[in-house]
Chains A and B, each alone.
Chain A
Amino acid sequence: MTPWYQDPVNFIAEWLRALLTSWGLAPEAVNFILTVLGAGILALLGMLWVIFLIWYERKLIGRIQDRFGPNRVGPWGIFQPFADMLKIFVKEYITPAGADLVPYNLAPILSVGSVLLIWAVIPFTMTIMGVNLNVGLLLIIGAGGFSALAILLAGWGSNNKYAMLGGFRAIALLISYEVPMVVSLLIPVVLTGSLGVNDIVKAQSVPFLLTAPVAAFIFFISSVAESGRAPFDLVEAESEIVAGFNIEYSGLKFGMFYVAEFLHAFTISLLFSTLFLGGWRGPWAEQYPMLGFVYLVIKSFLVYFVVILFRGSLPRFRIDQMMNLNWKLLTPMALVSLIITALVAQPLASLPVVRAVALFLTNAAVMIIFLGWAGRQSSRKRPIVGKPRPLAVPHSDEKLPVEP
């Protein structure tokens, strides 16, 4: 057996397995208990982690906006989220009249669950992962479908027109950005030859950020969009539709949506660093697996910092700008880059260094061509193609104010 300091989590798991077996339990029962225990601990740690994330993000957003951020409760305000948490625990649940009860109450649970589902396939070290699924990447995409469903249920079940509008916007966003995201995720799959997440990490002797920068760029933007944060927070645009799909929720039910949003923001950073920055890879990560966890957390926080910087500095997209970005830039770019990657990577598979350089150069060319085109498009004045059609017309009986 390996010494405990090399791989503590598996050491404890093996010790527990030996203990339970010595109590006379059947091997299947021991497996079942360990699986349930592992899943429970992973989900619990994920949700507790959010407490820290909320403090970190509020502090950082405060600094970006030249404020202090939370600074009263504890040193540097670090206990502020605990106070918020206690407050939200004791708040009253208000159920709106005419709400569709089952969808209304199911939505917050589903929204947290869909994010935690992704954690099941992320390899935290070389040896620690929820499940080493050979279709892990598909599960990540499927989890996005569940989060869309959760938002739709919330928007529908609340019996509120603003919730409904927010739900519609969220679904339009999620369905559209799933297309470039899935295509860009295919590029690591082409380079690896496997859909398993740990296989993708193991294949990154050169991080895929360097061999597939276009895919990384598209995946980053579309996953920020999937998390529904600024600049893609038009699903909860306060100035237009009050609070979007979660307007009718209060107390811990709202808290669940809040937790899901913060957890999703960190999960996309975790995913980006796993798929494009080499995950747990680093010096001596294979001898001492726990070191891999440290590398993963450092890389994730680098990405998370950029996500927060996005949120703190970019204004909100209008819905047509969001759709234009997706369908006119990201989707064609993802398709072209997938074809080019397949054409370049396959013949050069036996020459890893040449392949990496060739991939980097072709990706850079794709990036320059597409971004240059998009820049010219966005700086061009859009022609007026027809008369403006007001959506709301005055009733024929109504007297219009006479212009002076």
Chain B
Amino acid sequence: MPTTLGVWTQRSRFADQLSRWALVFLAFSLLASAAFGATFGTRVVLGGQTSDLALDEARGLVYVANYTANRIDVVSTSTLRRVTTIAMPAGPASVALSPDGNYLVATHMMNFDPTIATPDYGLSVITLSGGASNLQTQIVNYTFGSPPLGVAFGNDGIALVATTTEFDLFDPTRGYIATLTTISGIDTQLLPIAIGNYPADITQASMAVSGDGSRIFGTVGDGTNLKVSTDFYYDVPSQQLNVMGWISSPPMGPRAVSVDQTGSTYMTGWTLNRASDFVELAQFPNAVGTFSLGSNAIDTARGSIYAQVAMSSAFQMWPPLPTPYSGPVLMVTGSDNLAVREQLMLPENLSGKSVLSSDNSTMYSVSSSGLMVMPVGQLYVTQGAKIHQVASDHASLLFTSNWCNSTPQTAVFAVIDPGGATTDFSLYTNLPGVTLTPSSGTTPAVITVSVDPTAYRSQNGTTSGLIQIQSGLAVNVPVPVQLLINNPQPEQRGAVFNVPGQLVSVLADPTRNRFYVLRQDNDQVLVFDGSSFNQIAVLRTPNTPWSMDMTFDKHYLIVGGDNSQVAGLYDLNTLQFVRYLPLPYGYYPRWVAASGNAILAACRHAGPIHGIARIQMYGMGTIYPTLGPWKNDINIDTAIVASPSGNFILGAMADGRTLLYDANQDLFVSARNDFTALTGAIAAPTDDTFIVANNVLDGSAVPAGTLSETGTTSGFTMAGGLGLATSAQSASSPGVVARVDLSQSSFSVRPTAMTEAPVLPPSAGSAFTRTLAALANGNAIVSLSTSGFVSLASNYDVAMATPDITSVVSAADLTSPVAPGGLMSVLGTNLSLTNAATSTLPLPTALASSCLTVNGVMVPMIMVSPTQINGQLPFEVSGTGTMVLRTPAGVSNTFTFPIDPTAPSAFLVDVPDWNTPMPTVTHAADGELVTPSYPIHLNEWLAIYVTGMGVTAPTVATGAASPLDPLAQPAAAPTLYLDGAQLPVEFAGLVPGEVGVYQINVQVPFKGVRTGMQIPLTITQGGFTLTLSVRVVTNN
């Protein structure tokens, strides 16, 4: 083998050169990492393309099959350096270590086209002795009649060897090979192959053993047809081999297999399967099936799976990033449904099998450069982690504002490192009017988010945006924080509840005071209390849930999804998962509906023909061979819903076709093609009326009319004998909820604006939506919406009198005209549903859901009541004022009124026991009010408080407290006379800290003023004169 050795040496030198360049590259990478983030794991560059690995924890070594280098690289787990190599007769495709650590078995396989080169394959047993520092090896080679694809040891110390023609049991102690069974249809790619293929593309095989060593699993390929694969598991105690052939699209890549602790589930390629019957529990969406890209490992102890899968588009956690991270990513998912919890940026792609250390702290994976070592245990460290991560403690922030509210709103969230490390971060948002303080720093940090609602005045629904998180140190792909800014008009109905995630369906429990919400991104059913709207439980579902329904007895909840062969069954009394309800292989139950007879599933099929299946409560469901006289060939996007009586199930397809299943006869009694396309709400409110989009169908699914909805319909339900339909133009527009009288042939609707839009198709993946539910307690209606859900009182549209403005006067005396910046009173009827007042500064422009505008400018308000609203006339308005009031009861009449540049008016104060209010003329000495019993004395100082003195210099923002330094003085100076004697004005201007209140300080002369009970005091400003009557007496 000198030639081989010479080649290795040459490669070794080249590899060393590569290493030096790699160091240079690494240095640049580290410099650049501040901007683009760090990566998770350490590459061990081995100078070849590796195909398999085995972990020898006792010696602290990893044996990596370096297929193209014809050797096994022995890497220290402590130094992550190659300590030695073991030369192989040919490219090692697979390696396995015996449970006692004495034998390393490697299959080698160079399956050349005999017409081009000599095939070379066999099995080598390497007897190991010594430790990591003095490892000694003895190699014995065995020849095989067919290419050995993989090898794995069971806990009995016997290796299972999979070849292209048989499964063999191999005892390394005795060198004994026994054929377990033969198999056909298994092969490798024939060598030579085109450049750009890798070991996994060649062998198309991977094998792994459960943590307890009791079951060996593997996946092998067809060699030429990449979509054909065979899964098998070998039960070690019983020596039973179970085999399952697959045709999968895309191919089942990455070609890597991992097994849980007991061998009950295994992962191969992009699927998670149940061992007992090979049922696919979950799969990654958008996989492309590349054999040589990705890996997986099941961490049973933590309920996690670490996986990389090649995808057609980068996997997006919720909320999705505008520009997803496109580099290599290790996903951390749930071990039951592949719900992705976290994404970690890898320095390079994984490309084959992975193994976990026995304490699950470290993951070793075959990778592009050789070996990748990832400290996955650090992901669960909450203090003092050795890796950096960055995350937000809030998935989303909802700012529920009001169309008239001009006051910035704030909320806080924390940027943290889940591992407790100090990690840098910077924040960015794409929404206008949003400020983040601070916008960068190190974890942990509390971020204040301030939203200027005036930036969203044109939006009456909910605007959605993101706060993106970046970090130079963090190894995870930071999940952005969703920002939701709800800015409804007062008359829009419903309270918004923020529920993060992609919510796709809602279902009210008719017997329990609950409702269920399907959260698709996290594969969950969220259970909410129907009275408090608090979330009370979470149920984990199959992957990418699309729909749910209750069994007819209301005992169970069934959830169907797009990326699981099973539907989930949940006990609604205990709120516990019961079992999976499998569908036939290749069928994915997107929509489920439970009638009084059958439970149907509208399934996407991995093949070209999608169909309706019947779910079995026990055992595997069945596909209807026909739908009565019609082919069981439905559109891939077919939704089904059952009527409340359980007598019918309506089906609707995105291509415009409809179906009707009669549960009593167990027959499909109608299948029609009345529409060219359908999208929107689907409901079966009664046995003889069905809703699809804005179409009303009769009891034979014949179109009977349309609902005059605007936009796209989203939900439909029955409440109080009437139908309720929701719709919207877009996710950011206001929603519309409408009463529908189905008993009338016109199906006329009575629309009411909702605070935000309902969830619209196809955001949930389907053309159809079920987003509206009337709760069993009869008190509320829940509509899934942009921010979560909107709760509507059942009497949300009870008739309320609209506001009517009859006059606008100075708030000081309720008679004088108004001037810019002055306090005014709006008088009328039905101005507010309730009484409310505020002392908040700046004054809010929304109070008790009532909002006021003058010439389009928001009016800061102090008090609202049914007959009077007090506020500040904005400084910005002049001339003729046009006032509009918006309340939950509706929009007022448009009221016009004159605006004087200056119109001082003194406040009138009700002094206890005085029948007549007193003007706010006060004694400067003690601040007491001038009254007949405390009259003005000659020569004393007075402070007079008025409003309506107009604009000031410097200007003061409308609604804001007046400044102390500098004091704001009116542009037009006032003159004052008492009984004809001019009073010298010491000061006139806004009272610091107050809104719209002016103060005039004057001195009463010592003589020249009559005394008496009613002496005229006049204030003249800019042509406007205010006359007050005061009592003046001489000094005693």
B is a partner of A: no
Chain A residues at the B interface, C-beta cutoff of 8 Å = none
